[in-house]
Amino acid sequence: LVSRENHPDRSTVTVRGVPIGPDTVTLIAGPCAVETPEQTLEAALMAKAAGATLLRGGAFKPRTSPYAFQGLGEKGLRILADVREQTGLPIVTEVVDAHDVALVASYADMLQVGTRNAQNFALLQAVGAAGKPVMLKRGMTATIEEWLMAAEYVAQRGNLDIVLCERGIRTYEPATRNTLDISAVPVVQRLSHLPVIVDPSHSGGRRDLVLPLTRAAVAVGADGVIIDVHPHPEQALCDGPQALVDGDLERLAAIMRDFPPLV
């Protein structure tokens, strides 16, 4: 279903009127985690100033440590919905458990499946049946074939509004949090008709790498990027070291302007 064999034209997925696909390079930005109404609104305004047309933000956070901040849950979803109201930015947010899909889908404009759940087939089937566009991150140890098969689980439930997100894979190299597999972008675009975006924040894991990796992503033809921003990253409850700050936004906007879609 997701292969280009029977569907030669590349697809555009529309999230509450915002297109992600071959004719555009979409910027999705926002906080890694929803922490407070003020922090979420500030981050959303930063995202908008940089040219973002979709707001990211996690209310359910899949953390490596059970002692780390796990997200605000439904309270976080309500904050996102309020910030959508105030900024007009549609919401992309993660769902980590099949039992929460209906709840998250009742607030979100796009459901995100994260790297840790990229082969949670029950969750993939549930998001496939939820009637909302889906952003499917690549599993951190997934081959491209496994990633595309994960997308098939969503598609099989009747939902072809899927955006694939390369977010780095685990390799032997510890200098970056994950190794951004930049070649996956054109490889997957040739194999699948689905849009492919890149997450330069979670792949590098470091603020100083986000803009260079964004340039790489848009230069190679990614259909969009998803980027963490935070008004006060030193106080962030999740992934502060990779969040862009106010001073980075003009350069981010310039990168997005300088690299039109590679059709």
Compare residues 48 and 202 and give the one whose CB is closer to ligand PEP.
Answer: 202
CB of 101 to ligand PEP, least distance (A): 16
Question: Tell me, what DSSP letter sits at residue 91?
Answer: E
Compare residues 19 and 62 and give the one whose CB is closer to ligand PEP.
Answer: 62
Compare residues 1 and 39 and give the one whose CB is closer to ligand PEP.
Answer: 39
The total number of residues written for the chain in this structure: 263
Total residues contacting ligand PEP by CB under 6 A comes to: 10
User: What is the DSSP pairing of strand 18-20 with strand 13-15?
Assistant: antiparallel
β-partners of residue 225 are 27, 198
Burial of 44 (0-12, 13-18, 19+ CB in 10 A): buried
* Cβ neighbours around 260 below 10 Å, total: 11
| Residue 26 lies near ligand PEP (rule: CB under 6 A) | no
| Residue 139 lies near ligand PEP (rule: CB under 6 A) | no
Compare residues 1 and 214 and give the one whose CB is closer to ligand PEP.
Answer: 214
Compare residues 199 and 223 and give the one whose CB is closer to ligand PEP.
Answer: 199
| Residue 202 lies near ligand PEP (rule: CB under 6 A) | yes
Contacts of 54 (CB under 8 A, 6+ apart): 15, 18, 26, 27, 28, 29, 89, 90, 91, 92, 109, 110
Cα–Cα dist 229/247, whole Å: 11
Q: Contacting ligand PEP (CB under 6 A), which of 30, 31, 114, 128?
A: 114
| Residue 167 lies near ligand PEP (rule: CB under 6 A) | yes
x/- map, 51-70, ligand PEP, by CB under 6 A: -------x---x--------
CB-based closest residue to ligand PEP: 114
> Are 40 and 48 spatial neighbours (Cβ–Cβ below 8 Å)?
no
Tokens describing residue 174: 């510890």
> Under the rule (CB under 6 A), what is the footprint of ligand PEP?
32, 58, 62, 94, 114-115, 137, 167, 199, 202
